[in-house]
Structure 1
Amino acid sequence: MFDRFLSFLKDIPGGSGRRPRDDDPRVAASALLYHVMNVDGVRQDAEWERFKAVLGESHSLSGAELDELALAGEQADREAVDLYAFTSVLKRHLDVEERKAFIGLMWEIVFADGELHELEDNTVWRVAELLDVERQDRIAARRKVAASLPDGAKLLDEE
Structure 2
Amino acid sequence: MIAKLKQLFLSPEVPLTAQQKTQQLNLAAAALLLEVVYADDHVESSETALLPAALTQTLHITLDDATALLEQAKQARFNATSLFEFTEKINAAFSVADKQQLILAMWQLAYADGELCRYEDQIIRRTADLLYLKHSELIHMRNIAMEKDA
TM-score (norm 1): 0.77
Matches within 5 A, 1:92-107: 92-107=92-107
Structure 2's unaligned 5+ residue stretches are 1-17
CA distance in 1, matches of 2:111, 2:120: 9
The answer to which structure has the higher helix fraction is: 2
* Identity fraction in percent: 27
C-alpha deviations, 1:96-139, integer Å up to 9, x for none? 22212211111011111111000000000000000001111101
| 1:142 alignment partner in structure 2 | 142
CA distance in 1, matches of 2:95, 2:117: 28
| 2:88 alignment partner in structure 1 | 88
Matches within 5 A, 1:1-159: 14=19, 24-57=24-57, 58-63=59-64, 65-150=65-150
C-alpha deviations, 1:68-121, integer Å up to 9, x for none? 101111111111010000000000111122212211111011111111000000
Check whether the contact 1:22–1:28 (CA below 8 A) recurs between aligned residues.
no
CA distance in 2, matches of 1:37, 1:22: 23
What amino acid sits opposite 2:44 in the alignment? Q
Report the Cα offset of residue 21 of structure 1.
7.9
CA distance in 1, matches of 2:91, 2:80: 17
Q: Which runs of 4+ in 1 moved over 3 A?
A: 20-23
What amino acid sits opposite 2:131 in the alignment? L
Structure index of larger Rg: 2
Structure 1's unaligned 5+ residue stretches are 1-12, 15-19, 151-159
TM-score (norm 2): 0.81
CA RMSD of aligned residues (A): 1.9
C-alpha deviations, 1:33-79, integer Å up to 9, x for none? 0111101111111000111111133332123x332101111111111
